């Protein structure tokens, strides 16, 4: 069994600023760093560092070879990372003094994913495999339908949420991982319990992980609801913390079926990630996550 992560690869241009720029304001940044990112790439790196067998599929431009390299160095299978004529996707990220961020995306090659490329990738995978998707690439509805036909279990992180998701058949999703804002947009509900209830009503066959920022996270599946608190950490940069969470949750959940343990590991991994700069580069290795859980008496 392996995980195919069909997702974005971005060059993240991260500007450190005193505060997030307001409309009409010109703000001078303190620094600029260019790092590997993209929800897809970050989640592949997180899966690999958590110990999963992961293959990343996606497109970069000639200017994005460093992203393929970064995946490979983390142990991700890169055979389905293709090079298109379109330039690599990028993200303009402001990170303020409290570590919060604000992101503008330029999709670039991520939106050059077409049905032909999807078919070529998917023919190597089948009912033993899981597919992980986010909402930063093109052809998502097609990929969901074809993966479903092949019997793959579909894991969806519907982020960033936009109108394009309405074209996807979400009833085919096996596991949702989403935050409370996305949950509210998807269901029209506000409170976490209501969001989960409405998700269960609409997608009765799916398991759901709902992240709640400082309020932790919840899991709904197998007829039970679980809650996990955050592990407090000094916040340096929150970029990619949700991606770290997703990779760690998925890895442990698929390996052991123990959702409580998966929430715990994911929470600790994302607490470590926010205490560091960057997205993919901030994802901890599994040994560190286990050591920290042991130190906090949570293992
Ligand atoms: O989730 C964080 C990621 O969102 C960044 O790495 C950026 O590239 C955007 O895709």
Q: Is 158 exposed, middle or buried (0-12, 13-18, 19+ CB in 10 A)?
A: buried
Nearest to 284 by CA among 254, 253, 243: 243
Task: Round to whole Å and give the CA distance between 194 and 191.
Answer: 5
- Choose which residue among 7, 35, 37, 277 to substitute to test ligand 1 binding: the one with the highest number of ligand atoms within 8 A of its C-beta: 37
- β-strand 101-106 against 89-95: which pairing, if any? antiparallel
Q: Indicate the SS3 state at residue 89.
A: strand
User: Which atom of ligand 1 sits closest to the CA of residue 239?
Assistant: 2
Sign of the torsion angle spanned by Cα atoms 258, 260, 221, 251: negative
User: How many CB atoms are closer than 10 A to CB 31?
Assistant: 10
Is the Cβ atom of 221 under 6 angstroms away from ligand 1?
A: no
List phi, psi (to 5°) of 81: -95, 115
Q: Where are the alpha helices (DSSP H) in the chain?
A: 39-50, 65-73, 115-122, 140-149, 180-187, 192-202, 241-256, 259-274, 286-295
- Choose which residue among 11, 58, 243, 278 to substitute to test ligand 1 binding: the one with the highest number of ligand atoms within 8 A of its C-beta: 243
For domain 3-9+39-88+110-295, give the fold. Answer: 3.40.1190
Is the Cβ atom of 252 under 6 angstroms away from ligand 1?
A: no
Give the distance, in angstroms, between the CA of residue 192 and the centroid of all CA atoms in the same chain. Answer: 20
In degrees, to the nearest 5, what angle opens at C-alpha 145 toward C-alphas 126 and 61? 85
User: Which atom of ligand 1 sits closest to the CA of residue 90?
Assistant: 8
- Output the tens digit of pLDDT for each of the chain's 299 residues: 689 999 999 999 999 999 999 999 999 999 999 999 999 999 999 999 999 999 999 999 999 999 999 999 999 999 999 999 999 999 999 999 999 999 999 999 999 999 999 999 999 999 999 999 999 999 999 999 999 999 999 999 999 999 999 999 999 999 999 999 999 999 999 999 999 999 999 999 999 999 999 999 999 999 999 999 999 999 999 999 999 999 999 999 999 999 999 999 999 999 999 999 999 999 999 999 999 999 999 88
Task: Round to whole Å and give the CA distance between 70 and 239.
Answer: 17
Q: Indicate the SS3 state at residue 135.
A: coil
Task: Round to whole Å and give the CA distance between 226 and 217.
Answer: 8
- Choose which residue among 5, 8, 12 to substitute to test ligand 1 binding: the one with the highest number of ligand atoms within 8 A of its C-beta: 12
Q: What separation in Å is there between the alpha carbon of 239 and the centre of ligand 1?
A: 7
Q: Which residue has the least CA distance to atom 8 on ligand 1?
A: 38
User: Which atom of ligand 1 sits closest to the CA of residue 8?
Assistant: 10
For the chain, the domains span 3-9+39-88+110-295
pTM above 0.85, yes or no: yes
Tokens at 298, concatenated:
């949570």
Sheet harboring 207-211: ordered strands across? 77-83, 54-60, 3-6, 130-133, 153-156, 173-179, 207-211, 217-221, 224-228
């Amino acid at each position: 069994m392996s995980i195919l992560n069909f997702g974005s690869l971005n060059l993240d241009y991260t500007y450190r600023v005193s505060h997030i720029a307001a409309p009409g304001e010109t703000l001078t940044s303190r620094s600029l760093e260019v790092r590997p990112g993209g929800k897809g790439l970050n989640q592949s790196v997180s899966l690999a560092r958590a110990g999963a067998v992961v293959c990343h599929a996606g497109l970069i431009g000639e200017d994005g070879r460093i992203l393929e390299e970064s995946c490979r160095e983390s142990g991700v299978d890169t055979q389905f990372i293709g090079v298109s004529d379109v330039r690599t996707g990028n993200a303009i990220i402001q990170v303020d003094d409290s570590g919060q961020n604000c992101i503008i995306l330029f999709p670039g090659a991520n939106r050059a994913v077409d049905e032909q490329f999807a078919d070529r990738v998917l023919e190597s995978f089948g009912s033993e495999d899981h597919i992980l998707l986010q909402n930063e690439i093109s052809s998502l509805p097609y990929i969901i339908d074809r993966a479903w036909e092949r019997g793959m279990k579909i894991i969806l992180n519907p982020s960033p949420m936009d109108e394009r998701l309405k074209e996807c058949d979400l009833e085919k999703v096996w596991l949702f991982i989403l935050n409370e804002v996305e949950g509210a947009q998807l269901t029209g509900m506000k409170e976490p319990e209501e969001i989960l209830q409405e998700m269960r009503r609409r997608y009765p066959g799916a398991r759901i992980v709902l992240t709640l920022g400082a309020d932790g996270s919840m899991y709904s599946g197998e007829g039970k609801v679980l809650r996990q608190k955050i592990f407090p950490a000094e916040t340096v940069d929150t970029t990619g913390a949700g991606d770290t969470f997703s990779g760690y949750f998925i890895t442990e959940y698929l390996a052991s079926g123990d959702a409580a343990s998966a929430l715990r590991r994911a929470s600790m991994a994302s607490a470590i990630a926010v205490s560091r700069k960057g997205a993919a580069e901030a994802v901890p290795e599994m040994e560190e996550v286990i050591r920290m859980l042991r130190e906090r008496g949570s293992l």
